[in-house]
Structure formats: C-alpha cells, structure tokens
Structure 1
C-alpha cells in the first residue's frame, strides 16, 4: 500500500496518475480528506477503483501514522489553512481539482475549496461532501470535553473502526490524542454566514447515518451558487465502504459532465 512518488508530508498518492489529454475528465486531480481520527489510507479502496479514470490523492493530517510525532491540529480553519498551502505547493493551481471530504473531512474540504476560490483564484473546482450536515446547521457536540470512554463509544457506534482495534489499548493509545484533537476541531467549527462557493457541490449521505439526516445533507445546497446534487445511499455513517464502486462511478461521471460543460 506504499504511495507512489510525489509524496509530501500532507499529500499521498497510492497509484500512478493517468496520462490524460488536457481537456479530459482524467486531467482532474481528486483530493480526498479523511474523517475525524482517519488516515489518508482510508481512501485507498476508492483510489484503486478510480485509478484508471482519475488521479487520486489523499490528505494525511498531522498526528497520525508517520506524522505521529507532530501535534494534531485542534482548529479546523487552521487545518484548512495548512492543507491549502500544502496542496497548492504540491499540485499547483493550474490542474483542475476536485475535493472529496468525508465527515469532518467534508468541512475541511469545504474550507479548502473556499481558499482555492478566494485566495488562489481557482475556478475549476468540484466539491464532494460525504457524511456530514451542511455548515449552516451547526450542532453543539462536546465530545472532545468528555473522557476517553465517551470518544470510544462514539467511534464504536459509527461502525467505522474494527472492534478488535478499539479493544487493544496499544492501538487506542496511538490514535486517541489525534482523535480528540479532530473532535475538538469539528466540534468548535462554525462556518461564516457568507460561506458560499461558486463551484458545483455534490452531497452524499447514508439513509441511516446517525450523524447526518438527508435533510441536513440537502442543506449543502445553500453553500453554493453553482449546481448542486444530492445522492442518498443505503447505510450508516461509513456507507461509502459498502458502495465504493457506486461512489467512484458518481465521482467520475459527475466530473466528466462538469468538464464537458466547461468546454461549451
């Protein structure tokens, strides 16, 4: 599962990028943003599935795996600032970018998309937001202020982590501090009232996700003046793990349509 060359501390590529024509959807780089406590490798399966169609990279936040000696970032806007800087340095701003964020990663991707539009003048962006309510619907969650048991109960309830890992004190010790930092980052995040993008936004959600209702996912519509699409899948918070092929098809088809529309 080693990444191919072009690695930075922040950006990981698991498969060689396709060699597309400049006007094809394959010319787009899909940048994936993990959930709270998540790793860049959580997007390995999606990267494999899309490897013949898109260039896929994933963000590795500080405080985990080979970055475990770095302090995790407890402020989501600071995390977005640093990711934006690393992303533009690694990939530049000429190539079209699509951002795919799951759970907390949806909000990080949203903030990075805002910076791409406002600071880098990047207009060819598409945002895919998965498993998180719209930023205009903040919810008071203080899990980061509670004990370790509360955090682990929440993780267990979402069924996104192997139960045996959560029963292993050594494994838990490796990710608990970064998990708490991520929970603080998303729990204290509030988007500005005027946080609206101009790019297409595609919201994905599971129909039984305890963290996000279909109506809360639909509210992402208020955060773009561009086209908006909502896709509901069967499943809970980590529905995408059961629908990798369908999610990959949705992403590639949407980007193909978006690229075609830009050429008109």
Structure 2
C-alpha cells in the first residue's frame, strides 16, 4: 500500500444544459443552494411547505439518478449496462442535490448517481437513520436493486466518505464486485475514529459547528422553523458520524483516491494518507484549494481528476452553475 501526493487536475469540460424537472430536488441546486451543511435541506423543506401546504414531499425509496442530456433516451437499465457510474454520497446534514450541478461537467460516458439519505428532500417523510449499519444496509439494498455492476466509482464527502467505504465493504460481504475506485473526500480513514460530542450539545453548539465549517447561510439559521428542521437533521447525522466505529474487515482491493481541501479544519493531507491502511490497492492524496466544502467551487477540477485517474478523457461542457 502506497501513498502519493497528487496535484489537482484542471478541466475545461462543456456540455449543453439539460432540461430540469421542477422539484425541491432540482430547484434548490439551480438557485445555488447546494453549499454547506443544512443548506439544501432547509431550502427543500421550505419549498415543500409552499408546494404541499405543509405536508411532506412524496416518498421515493430510490437511487437518485441525475440526467445529463435532454436528448438522452437511455433507460435506467441501459445506463447501468453501458456507462461508467460515479455514485456519490452526501455530507452530514446534506442531501442529493448537493451534487446536482455536477451533471454539467460529466462526460457522456459517465452516469452520475447520488444516493439520498432518508429524512430529507424526496425522502423527507422517512425516519432519519443515526446508525451506520442501518444506513449502509438500506443504501446497499438500493444499489443492488438498480442492478449495480462494474465499472463504478464510489465518491463520498465527509460523512459520505465513511458511508461509501462501508457500502464497499457490504457489497463485498454480499459477494458483489467492488468499485473500480473509492474516492473519500474531506474525511480521515475509518481506522481513525472521529469521535465527538457535538451531537450531544444544545442548539448553540450545533450552530457554532455549522459556522465553523462554513457554507450555511445566516438566513437559514435566523429562521426559527428552518433552523429547527436543519438542526434536527444535523444532530442526527453528527450522532451517526461521531458514534461510528468501523467494524473489523479485510482491506479493500480497489485503489483509493483521497481528496482534501488545503484549508479544511477537519481533514489535512496527512490525515487523508491514512486511507492507505484500508486497501491493498494504490492510494493517492490530492489537495485542492478550499475549505471543508471545496467540492462545490472545485467540482470541475475534482471530476477531471477522477476521470484522469480512471483513464477517461474529459469533454467540453458548459460552465457548471454555482
């Protein structure tokens, strides 16, 4: 197992902007609400109230598939069969639409899929899950129900990095082929438990944590209803993250590409190097300019770096939305 420092790879990809179904899932990202813990969640809950008179959004227990081209006629089964798949796992307090803008920088031979955790956006009415084994079983079931097959990449941001790792282990336990690449972002290795007490704190403690990491608009925290809903989900996800301990398991066999922000207070490049302990494959660490949420302003470079690692060419695409 080796660790190698890598420079981020630039990208100039362009692609025609797709038509978008108007929903809480898509609109939040269109309006630039995808950055920061609780941001998309708050926007989608506010929108769901205006659309449904206070009732929750329709429930959908599904893999979130983001279309890239309005002219594409591929069925879900065809996409799984013919394309590389980039499967993304959101951060704590986040939701699937955090990755919504990524569609603009994806080449046509890579399908973007984002898993939605229960209790937010299209799954707002479902109970939150605060135990890693329960969440992993649910998400793995959903991936398998979609006919998961290689080639595919698992990419997770912060809490999502731990979830992606555990899903890779669960898929192996079920006898399924592993990912071609695991891409943990902004989180240290599962061998270094991230224990903490933030989830036990009062609302002021949670708000201070959101402000420390950045990205949550002050208007979200100033609105009593939005603040209460956001903090409920954030507390749940922090409980999941801070009580998570990786179960003993053989190392993975896939390569790991760790991504970190150079100003992230949570995970340094040295922290990222610890992921080499959980695989027999080659491990690299790439550093990008930015804080804990560097994926948002640097998504073009991130996608280009992942494609380069897979040996896939980038394509021209329209500039991604904020």
Verify same fold: TM over 0.5. Answer: yes
Aligned position for 1:33: 89
* RCO higher in structure (CA 8 A, sep ≥6): 2
Say which one has the larger Rg: 2
Does the CA-based 8 Å contact 1:207-1:236 persist in structure 2? Answer: yes
Query: Would you say 1:103 and 2:185 are equivalent positions?
Result: no
Alignment partners' CA distance in 1, 2:199 and 2:62: 24
Which residue does the alignment assign to 2:120?
64
Taking the aligned partners of 1:168 and 1:206, their CA distance within structure 2 comes to 30
CA displacement at 1:215 relative to structure 2: 1.1
Question: What is the deviation of 1:131?
Answer: 0.6
For structure 2, the residue ranges without an aligned partner over 5 or more in a row are 1-19, 27-58, 313-322
Q: Which residue does the alignment assign to 1:213?
A: 268
1:37-91 deviation digits (Å, cap 9, x = unpaired):
001000012232115341001111011123222111010121111100011102x
CA distance in 2, matches of 1:97, 1:248: 14
Change (3 A) 1:81 1:137: same
> Residues 93 and 59 (structure 1 numbering): CA distance in 2 closer, same or farther, change over 3 Å?
closer
What's the TM-score once normalised by structure 2's chain length? 0.72
The question of 1:11 aligning with 2:66 is answered no
Cα 1:195–1:175 change in 2 (3 A) is farther
Q: Secondary structure at the match of 2:277?
A: helix
TM-score (norm 1): 0.87
Secondary structure at the counterpart of residue 263 of structure 2: coil
Report the counterpart of residue 282 of structure 2 in structure 1. Answer: 227
Question: Residue 213 of structure 1: CA displacement?
Answer: 1.9
Q: Could you tell me how far apart the structure 2 residues matched to 1:112 and 1:193 are?
A: 14
1:206, 1:121 → 2: CA distance?
A: 32
Distance 1:77 1:27, change over 3 A: same
Match of 1:260 in 2: none
Matched, 1:151 2:203: no
Superimposed CA distance per residue, residues 192-240 of structure 1 (whole angstroms, 9 cap, x where no aligned partner): 3445211111100011111112111110111110121110111110011
Determine helix, strand or coil for the equivalent of 2:295: helix
- State the distance in 2 between where 1:124 and 1:33 align: 14
Q: Report the counterpart of residue 179 of structure 1 in structure 2.
A: 234
Task: Say if 2:133 is the partner of 1:81.
Answer: no
- 1:188 counterpart = 2:188: no
Structure 1 contact 93–120 (Cα < 8 Å) conserved: no
Moved >6 Å (runs of 4+): none
1:113 maps onto 2:168 in alignment: yes
Q: Distance in 2 between matches of 1:40 and 1:162?
A: 19
SS of the equivalent of 1:73 reads: coil
- Whether 1:139 and 2:161 are equivalent positions in the alignment is no
Offset, 1:139: 3.1
Computed over aligned residues only, the root mean square deviation of the Cα atoms, in angstroms, reads: 2.2
* Aligned-partner Cα distance in 1 for 2:60–2:164: 18
- Report the Cα distance in structure 2 between the residues aligned to 1:223 and 1:160, rounded to whole angstroms: 30
Q: Give the structure with the larger helix fraction.
A: 1
Q: How many Å apart are 1:181 and its aligned residue?
A: 1.1
